[in-house]
Amino acid sequence: MTSHWLISFSLLALSIQAADISGMVQLQDSRDQKAKKDKSGVVFWLTPIDAPLPSPLTTAKARIIQKNKRFEPHVLAVSVGTTVDFPNLDPIFHNAFSNFDGKVFDLGLYPPGQSRAVRFDRPGITRLFCNIHSAMSAIVVVLTTPHFATSLADGSWEIRGVPPGNYKLELYHERSTAPTLKALERSIRIPDSGLKIPPITVSESGYIPVAHPNKFGNRYPPADSNPIYPGAKR
C-alpha cells in the first residue's frame, strides 16, 4: 500500500513541474539619491500566453503593518481576491484610506493594537494613505496571476514555482511612467530548469511626485505629523 502511494506521489510530482525565475532590477534617472541604494518595491509578474490563468485564491491573506508612522511594506503585490489586514502596531491612532484610484475604502480612525481588513476584489493599482499622517503611503498591486514577486532593496527578485511555458513578463514601479513600464514588457519562455533574466533597468524619468489630499479632499494641516485626537497618544 505504501509503495503504491509513493509511486502515485512521484508521478504527480513529475506531472506538475515548477520552475524558478529570478533577476535583478536597476533604477536610473532617479531624483532621489536613495533609489541608488534601495531598489525595493518593483513588482514583476508573469501571465501565461498559451495556457489559462489558474483560478484566483480568493481566500489568500496578506498584511500591511502600520509602525513608526509608516506602512510596511510600502509596496505589496497580491492576487485578486486577497484580503489584506492593516494592524496598527504604533502607540498612536492611524486612519488608512484610499480614494485616489483602484479600491476605494476608509478604515476609519483606530487605536493601537487594533486591525482592519480590506478585500482587494479587482485587479489594478491602489494607492493608500493615512488621513492623519501625510507622509504615510503604500501601494497595493492587485494582479490576476499568482506568479509575481517584488524586488528587495538590492534589486533582486524571484518568482518561484511557475509551470514551464510561454509567459508575458510585466512590471510596475511607483516612480516610473506607464509608457516606460510598457516598453519593458516582454515575452519569455520558461524552461523546466527555470530562468535567470538579465538585469532590467527601469528609468524614473518623467516621474513627478504630487502632494495628495486627505480623505476629505483637503490639504493636510501643517501640524499633521503631530495630530491631537481624543484618547490618542502622541
136 within 8 A of 93, measured Cβ to Cβ = no
For the bound state, the minimum distance from the C-beta of residue 90 to Cu ion, rounded and expressed in Å, comes to 7
* Residues near 27 by beta carbon (within 8 Å), at least 6 away in sequence: 35, 36, 39, 42, 155, 173, 175, 201, 202, 203, 204
Q: Which region among 7-15, 72-80, 123-131, 197-205 touches Cu ion (by CB under 5 A)? A: 123-131
What would the DSSP string read from start to end of 184-229?
T-EEEEE-TT-EEPPPEEEE-TT----PPP-TTSSPPPTTTTS---
For the bound state, the minimum distance from the C-beta of residue 88 to Cu ion, rounded and expressed in Å, comes to 8
For the bound state, the minimum distance from the C-beta of residue 216 to Cu ion, rounded and expressed in Å, comes to 15
What whole-number distance in Å separates Cα of residue 184 and Cα of residue 8? 42
Among 80, 118, 130, 162, binds Cu ion (CB under 5 A): 130
Q: Which region among 4-12, 72-80, 86-94, 170-178 touches Cu ion (by CB under 5 A)? A: 86-94
* Residues near 158 by beta carbon (within 8 Å), at least 6 away in sequence: 20, 21, 22, 23, 149
Report the SS3 class of residue 107. coil
For the bound state, the minimum distance from the C-beta of residue 135 to Cu ion, rounded and expressed in Å, comes to 9
Report the SS3 class of residue 35. helix
Q: What is the dihedral of CA 138, 155, 159, 136, to 10 degrees?
A: -10
Provide the grid cell at 203: 528609468
Give residue 14's identity as a one-letter amino acid code: L
132 is a site residue for Cu ion (CB under 5 A): yes
Q: Which region among 16-24, 27-35, 87-95, 146-154 touches Cu ion (by CB under 5 A)? A: 87-95
Provide the grid cell at 179: 509608457
For the bound state, the minimum distance from the C-beta of residue 86 to Cu ion, rounded and expressed in Å, comes to 11
Q: Which region among 18-26, 131-139, 146-154, 201-209 touches Cu ion (by CB under 5 A)? A: 131-139
107 is a site residue for Cu ion (CB under 5 A): no
Q: Which region among 23-31, 41-49, 127-135, 220-228 touches Cu ion (by CB under 5 A)? A: 127-135
Find the binding residues for Cu ion in span 61-80 (CB under 5 A).
Answer: none
Find the binding residues for Cu ion in span 133-172 (CB under 5 A).
Answer: 133, 136
Residues in contact with Cu ion, counted by CB under 5 A, come to a total of 5
94 is a site residue for Cu ion (CB under 5 A): yes
User: Site residues (CB under 5 A) for Cu ion?
Assistant: 94, 130, 132-133, 136
